[in-house]
Amino acid sequence: MVLSRDFFQMKRFAPHSTVGLRLQHNSLNGTFSGTFAVDSFGTATLKGRGKFNHLGASTFSASAPCAGPIPFTITAADGAGLSLSPALTGVAFTSSTTAVFSLTYAIDGGSGHFADAAGSGTMSVAIVATDATLTGGKLSGTLAGTMTE
């Protein structure tokens, strides 16, 4: 493939454009920690911080009814957001206040330069609830997968 001067000019003014480029496959691995809360209507809210290769230091948030999937958004330091749709594959309760959730996830695009992102992977989330009702507490986890953007 021969690249013209016009191509390089275009990339200078639109650095995140994929016109004429192959999508890059990147690993998406990292760790995160934060808090969770479940309100009286059964809506779970998760938020916190993490460090992910390819994204760097990031924040995450999620909010949805506990009975269904909880869409997960990771926001990189540059403000671009990555949208994940997790699916529960298993849960192990290690006590009345602790549990480990195993999940798979699909990347459903996002915002900014992640608008066309795609990929998949696995996620493990450990929770330590403040009491046996499991309505709030701390969480930590790991994420492993690949993505294209």
Rounded to whole angstroms, the Cα distance separating 96 from 82 reads: 33
Q: What is the pLDDT of residues 116-148, one digit of tens each?
A: 999 999 999 999 999 999 899 999 999 999 999
Question: Does the domain spanning 24-148 belong to CATH 2.30.30?
Answer: no
Residue with tokens 């994929």: 18
Q: Give how far the C-alpha of residue 68 lies from the chain's centroid of Cα atoms, to the nearest Å.
A: 17
Domain regions of the chain by residue span: 24-148
Q: What is the pLDDT of residues 8-37, one digit of tens each?
A: 444 444 444 445 444 577 889 999 999 999
Helix residue ranges per DSSP H, 3-143: 5-13
* 92's tokens: 């192990």
CB-CB contact of 63 with 46 (8 Å): yes
